[in-house]
Amino acid sequence: MKSFTYLLFTLIFGSHLLLALSYDCSDAKVNRGEKFQILGECRQYTCIGHESFVALVCPDVANCNKEPDITKLYPQCCPRC
């Protein structure tokens, strides 16, 4: 039951963290499964296959006017409200 609850929670509340991007992993010299970050962005990218990336981004927080701290790596760059 715990695993089902965790899965359900992840699907409902965690899905906003994923952002699918289309890009050719071979052109970027990134292997499938590799994670990387782009300087100046508060995201963590993962190559999931040819022309497919997934990016983890900061969650939206209501009434939070703080900007990400792009001098830090994800997830430490996310605003704390």
pTM listed for this prediction: 0.62
Per the listing, tokens 């050719």 go with 24
Confidence at residue 35, expressed as pLDDT on a 0 to 100 scale? 92
Q: Of all helices (H) and strands (E), which one includes residue 13?
A: helix 2-13
Confidence grade of residue 79 (pLDDT, cut at 50, 70, 90): very high
Give yes or no for a contact between 36 and 45, defined as CB atoms under 8 angstroms apart. Answer: yes
| pLDDT, tens only, 7-63 | 334 444 444 444 444 445 655 678 889 999 988 999 999 999 877 889 999 998 888
